[in-house]
Structure 1
Amino acid sequence: MKILHVIPSVSPVRGGTSRAVLDMVRALRDSGIDAEIATTNDDGNDLLDVPLGTLTRYDGIPTYFFPRFSPPLNALREFAFSGAFTTWLFRHIAKYDSIHVHAIFSYTSTVTMAISRLRGVPYLVTPHGMLCQWSLDRGGRKKQIYLKSIERANLDRAGAIHLTCEQERDDVMALNLKAETFVLPLGLTEIPAKIPDAANLLRQNLNCPADEPIILFLARLHYKKGLDYLIPALGKLRERRFTFVLAGSGTPEYEAEIQSLLRTAGIEDRTRMVGFIEGTQKDLLLQGADLFALTSHSENFGIAVLEALVVGTPVLLTPGVGLSTVVRDRELGYIAELDIEAITEALARYLTEPHRVQQMGVYARKFSIENYNWDRIAADLIRVYQTIVDRQPLPSILGTAKVN
């Protein structure tokens, strides 16, 4: 079976969605599926230095890159228009058994669904949270018009819509789309190698005491992430000992807002803003921190949350994070309402019960390794592909397509 995955960008600066798609395709290829990626050379405000219009290897995955239209206006860059991609897809789409479209409300995704419909090629859509109510509300009237006039017809004709948690499915079901839906989580292709004495190494790097509690935020710096709740909550606990690490990058304007929030909360001197990180530095932060905090308004899944859990770092989440239900039910960390006082209370509990936190970490690692393994997830996804290619209904595979 030959499957083409289409996504506007695979750049690391685009966060967990790009990582998830690369990992998904890798797992599918390891399972015997001839899977490829078609995307643009988007790299946020910049462009990736990659060959264009020809099959190349990106992070070990067969990938076609096409030039992104890059005008000075940010909104147009974000739309990821690519005329070369359109021409290529129209010429080559028939050689694929099915198309897997990732993310919506972008040119590459929209035109892929339209061409698939025109050429009669079945397709699957993973919206990656873009159909969640919070995301739709933030888009204002423009996104509602786009959905009604263009994207709804594309979604209605999809072979299926892949959602990553029950919370995301609830939001999508409210839209009354005609396509069938199924829930299948994302995963991790490999467990990072254990860094000996990570806790001490991290504290040495941060120049703080060996027994200093470290709270980690690791994600894009974006207002969706709820830092305007987390930072004031930490400020209410500034008489306690802790170091707060902010790992991620955002627009210069939003990073300036974060600096202002830190000053107002009185924790600027105990915060380390380390910028965008990856590789060994990222592994050290995740393994050496005591708590991973993500107080988002909305996250359809939360790959960074899974990255923390799989190395045994408990998490503090808000209900808008897709994995929050599993974390709450399995006691893998703390869940607090998106409210400064509630987050403050959860942080205070974490700071006063280190032994329980350690136990949470041990179980978090075991549970996440067992349940978010890409080999298992890929097997279910292949069953979905086959069902779509055969143009059959999905009920036979729905029972396996979720983590209990």
Structure 2
Amino acid sequence: MNPASGGPCQGIRNSIPALQELGVTTEVVCLDPTDAAFLGSDAFKITALGPVKTPYGYTAALKPWLEQHLGDYDYAIIHGLWLYTSYGTYRTWKQLKGAGKPVPKFFVMPHGMLDPYFQKAPERRFKALRNRVFWQLLEKHVVNGVDGVLFTCEQELLLARTTFSGYHPKAELNVGYGIQEPPQKTTIHQQAFLEQCPQAAAQPYWLFLSRVHQKKGVDLLIQAYRSHYKQNPQIPILVIAGPGMDTAYGNGLRKLAEGLPIYFPGMLQGDAKWGALYGADWFILPSHQENFGIAVVEALACHTPVAISKPVNIWREISDARAGMVFADDLEGVTSGLEHLLVMEDRLKQEYAHNARELYQTRYRVAEAAAYLKQVLQQHE
């Protein structure tokens, strides 16, 4: 549940308060260390059973906890695959069920981890091989053995069918996804952002806000930005915000951005994050794979139009609503996408911004997503 680990943790944090409003009490069990700094800052119960001892995330504490508590719940959801939380939880649930013990209805929510990208990306050859082995030995039994697989959007559901042989879940359920209403825009948000990125104080900026990782295509964004900056130094500055700048990939991005008005304020949270989203001319995400894109929807909710690549799985919804621009996830596509932003008339940009907020309100509000999730789960009792 470390906030720096990406979208699934934030998605859980978004949905639990909305489920609480519907009378659903949720407990999160994770394998983070029991002394993790972020524990205790959430308004719902998190039980940490870590630390784990291997890259697979094994801990002997999970099985006895499940044996003692799993029967207390009506529904259980595994978030993510490929770690011990997945097969370890499924195996214990199956054992309890076989012994005639009370067990909840059981689902898995892969959060894009069944996307074929992860098996095809050249830099993931070893991990792809590992996943094929894990699929045959473990995860295939989880996916096919639980009561259903939950997806955040239709594109994720369709892609999951193409990745591994032997994929035969009992039910495929597109439950959607949503985020909480952002706070009303105030000068406090702007000031908090500018404290971390003062360069954006007096000029327009484009914003990348996500985990800094090769999958996100940030290198393509910088290269495309450089080509336009050479022709027009008056273009908006580029803010690249997110955790991961202390990695080899992050250090490479700094070198790639040398001599350009590109700034790296690090991970933005709270008021600073909302200030960045509200103030951006465009939110840009050239990702090679994005199951849903919580930050994309947060930008929509802040009246900020988005420019995203097609591997962001909600690209069709955004394109159909005219809430943003869509481009290919290669250098030519990103370069062309930025060019469209530069030549766009203010009137059209304002239309995109209006449509962005409309799309959020009609499709991605967390209250509606939580209500639908509850309805779908209850239908499978």
User: TM-score if structure 2 supplies the norm length?
Assistant: 0.89
Q: 1:334 to 1:42 in 2, by over 3 A?
A: farther
Query: One-letter code of the match for 1:149?
Result: L
The Cα RMSD (Å) is 2.2
Q: Deviations over 1:15-45 (max 9, x none)?
A: 11101012222211211012211112259xx
Whether 2:142 is the aligned partner of 1:154: answer yes
Whether 2:77 is the aligned partner of 1:85: answer no
* Equivalent residue number for residue 394 of structure 1: none
Deviation at 1:322, TM superposition (A): 1.2
Q: Deviations over 1:334-375 (max 9, x none)?
A: 101112122112211112223311221112112202221222
Q: 1:85 to 1:17 in 2, by over 3 A?
A: same
2:285 to 294, 298, 309: 294
- After superposition, residues 94-173 of structure 1 pair within 5 angstroms as 94-120=71-97, 121=103, 122-137=105-120, 138=124, 139-173=127-161
Query: Partners in 2 of 1:200 and 1:98 — Cα distance?
Result: 43
Query: Partners in 2 of 1:248 and 1:173 — Cα distance?
Result: 31
SS at match of 1:285: helix
2:378 to 386, 392, 395: 386
Whether 2:359 is the aligned partner of 1:367: answer yes
Count of matched residue positions in the alignment of Structure 1 and Structure 2? 361
Query: Partners in 1 of 2:187 and 2:288 — Cα distance?
Result: 35
Query: Partners in 2 of 1:145 and 1:62 — Cα distance?
Result: 34
Deviation at 1:131, TM superposition (A): 0.3
Larger deviation, residues 369-378 vs 241-250: 369-378
SS at match of 2:185: coil
Deviation at 1:196, TM superposition (A): 4.5
Deviation at 1:168, TM superposition (A): 1.0
* Equivalent residue number for residue 100 of structure 2: none
Q: Deviations over 1:124-182 (max 9, x none)?
A: 11100000001233332111110111010111011111111222111112343232102
Query: Partners in 2 of 1:356 and 1:200 — Cα distance?
Result: 28
Whether the 8 Å contact between 1:41 and 1:50 is mirrored in structure 2 is no
Whether the 8 Å contact between 2:19 and 2:370 is mirrored in structure 1 is yes
Whether the 8 Å contact between 1:202 and 1:288 is mirrored in structure 2 is no
Whether the 8 Å contact between 1:230 and 1:295 is mirrored in structure 2 is yes
Query: One-letter code of the match for 2:62?
Result: F
SS at match of 1:244: strand
Q: Deviations over 1:185-234 (max 9, x none)?
A: 21112222212597799679533573x33111111111100112111111
Larger deviation, residues 276-285 vs 137-146: 137-146
Q: 1:287 to 1:105 in 2, by over 3 A?
A: same
Whether 2:237 is the aligned partner of 1:237: answer no
Whether the 8 Å contact between 2:76 and 2:106 is mirrored in structure 1 is yes
Whether the 8 Å contact between 1:37 and 1:62 is mirrored in structure 2 is yes
* Equivalent residue number for residue 188 of structure 1: 179
Query: One-letter code of the match for 2:239?
Result: V
* Equivalent residue number for residue 255 of structure 1: 250
Deviation at 1:295, TM superposition (A): 0.6
Residue identity (%): 27
Question: Can you give the 5+ residue segments of structure 1 that lack an aligned partner in the other structure?
Answer: 1-9, 52-56, 71-75, 391-404
Whether the 8 Å contact between 2:305 and 2:353 is mirrored in structure 1 is yes
User: TM-score if structure 1 supplies the norm length?
Assistant: 0.84
- After superposition, residues 191-270 of structure 1 pair within 5 angstroms as 191-196=182-187, 206-208=198-200, 210=202, 212-238=203-229, 239-240=231-232, 241-250=235-244, 251-263=246-258, 266-267=259-260, 270=261
Query: Partners in 2 of 1:162 and 1:245 — Cα distance?
Result: 34
Whether 2:27 is the aligned partner of 1:32: answer no
Whether 2:300 is the aligned partner of 1:309: answer yes
Query: One-letter code of the match for 1:112?
Result: T
Query: Partners in 1 of 2:71 and 2:192 — Cα distance?
Result: 53
* Equivalent residue number for residue 278 of structure 1: 269
Query: Partners in 2 of 1:281 and 1:198 — Cα distance?
Result: 6
* Equivalent residue number for residue 335 of structure 1: 326
Which runs of 4 or more aligned residues in structure 1 lie more than 4 Å from their structure 2 counterparts after TM superposition? 196-205
Whether the 8 Å contact between 1:332 and 1:360 is mirrored in structure 2 is yes
Q: Deviations over 1:72-109 (max 9, x none)?
A: xxxx34x3322212221122111112211101111112
* Equivalent residue number for residue 396 of structure 1: none
Query: Partners in 1 of 2:274 and 2:95 — Cα distance?
Result: 45
Q: Deviations over 1:276-303 (max 9, x none)?
A: 1100011110001111111111111000
